[in-house]
Amino acid sequence: MADIGSPIKIGKLTLKNRITMAPTVKFDFTDDTGIATDILVQHYKERAEHGCALICVEATAIVPGGRFCRGHMGLYNDEQTESQKRITAAVHAAGIPVIIQLNHTGMTGNPELGPVIAPSAVDTRSGEKAHAMSIDEVHEMQRAYIDAAVRAKAAGYDGVQLHACHGYLINQFASPVVNFREDEYGGSIENRARFGAEIIAGIREACGPDFLIAARISGFEGSVEESVQTGEAYVAAGCDYLQVSNGIDDADRMERDETLPYNAVCELGVRFHEHFKGRVPVSCVNSILSPEEARYIIENDLCDTIDLGRGILADPALPDAILTGAPYVHCFECKRCQYGPFTQHKCPAEMKRRIAHA
């Protein structure tokens, strides 16, 4: 039986336990400059000091047009790179490695910030068609991801995570639901995975063998089996770590045993782990909110690591509770997470915790 407190090697890093912090965006913690502010530094520092073995900093834009909104961190200029050094220094001071998630919104982008792009000319949320990227534009965007990874390394990050799920650009290329290209970036699973795989290979070449490359991948695009093959392409290109979530297609279409003590999104990670076991570490995420749930997944060898999102936002001490039984405030499981984007971060669990410690 595996122990959630036992170390694990991922790429060239050794994590002290099996608990990681998932990337969760805090749009109003910065402004149009996209720099890392005091509140962001404190946010990650606090969560590094309570038992987490790896911090993944939130989705960070690789170009200005790839932002969700104006208050979205970026890694596309020197000022932003310099500001990120404060986050890495704060997390490293707690003895924890830290990576950062790189993202472009693609067809879900904000038209106020630039043209909305996608692999194909699909409908966007505004009702207009996305601009279908030319081959030259595909290659320019791949270069932007690689350049952002180089900036991340310069800022002191131990690696990067590519945001390849949740309906954003890399996920859009991998998905048969929205990628209708007829060139080398569309059609077969291999071709649809090519966009992400070439980014990974480029990052590996630019940042070297010791730099961790992770992908937060969609576990269900067409089927779990298709997504696993996308994961194989990423691993072959140099990906060290697969962190599995949902994407454009509907994971609820997956046939599953509804009596399992974890949800469908978490099960995607479990299924990836079954396939990649012994070759590439795999994490699962989504509604892992209690010590019992976290321990169950690791102790039953269902995944290599667990990613905490809402639970560690509600209380940074959740990893301590998982490892030692320390007290913590449980996430209230609000219908819409009150620590999420555009909510002013009025998490009732965090308020309860702060009052208790006042």
pLDDT in tens, 83-139: 999 999 999 999 999 999 999 999 999 999 999 999 999 999 878 899 999 999 999
356 or 154: which leads in pLDDT: 154
Query: How far apart are the C-alpha atoms of 110 and 108, rounded to whole Å?
Result: 7
CA 176 to chain centroid: 21
Joined together, the tokens standing for residue 253 give: 């279409």
Do the Cβ atoms of 330 and 321 come closer than 8 Å?
no
pLDDT in tens, 318-344: 999 999 999 999 999 998 888 877 676
Lowest mean pLDDT among 105-114, 191-200, 217-226, 336-345: 336-345
CB atoms within 10 A of CB 203: 28
| CA dist list (Å): 155 to 219, 302, 339 | 30, 34, 26
Looking at residue 62, its amino acid is: I
CB atoms within 10 A of CB 96: 23
pLDDT in tens, 253-295: 888 989 999 999 999 999 999 999 999 999 999 999 999 999 9
Q: Which residue, among 339, 313, 341, has the nearest Cα to 28 in the 3D structure? A: 341
Q: What is the pLDDT of residue 340?
A: 72
Query: How far apart are the C-alpha atoms of 24 and 22, rounded to whole Å?
Result: 6
Burial (CB < 10 A; 0-12, 13-18, 19+), residue 114, is middle
Q: What is the pLDDT of residue 358?
A: 62
Question: Do β-strands 13-15 and 282-284 pair in parallel, antiparallel, or remain unpaired?
Answer: unpaired
> What is the average pLDDT across 199-222?
98
- Topology at the third CATH level for domain 8-356: TIM Barrel (3.20.20)
Q: What is the pLDDT of residue 36?
A: 97
pLDDT in tens, 124-178: 987 889 999 999 999 999 999 999 999 999 999 999 999 999 999 999 999 999 9
Q: What is the pLDDT of residue 188?
A: 98
Query: How far apart are the C-alpha atoms of 43 and 23, rounded to whole Å?
Result: 12
pTM of structure? 0.97
CA 267 to chain centroid: 17
pLDDT in tens, 15-58: 999 999 999 988 789 999 999 999 999 999 999 999 999 999 99
Q: What is the pLDDT of residue 5?
A: 98
Query: How far apart are the C-alpha atoms of 66 and 169, rounded to whole Å?
Result: 9
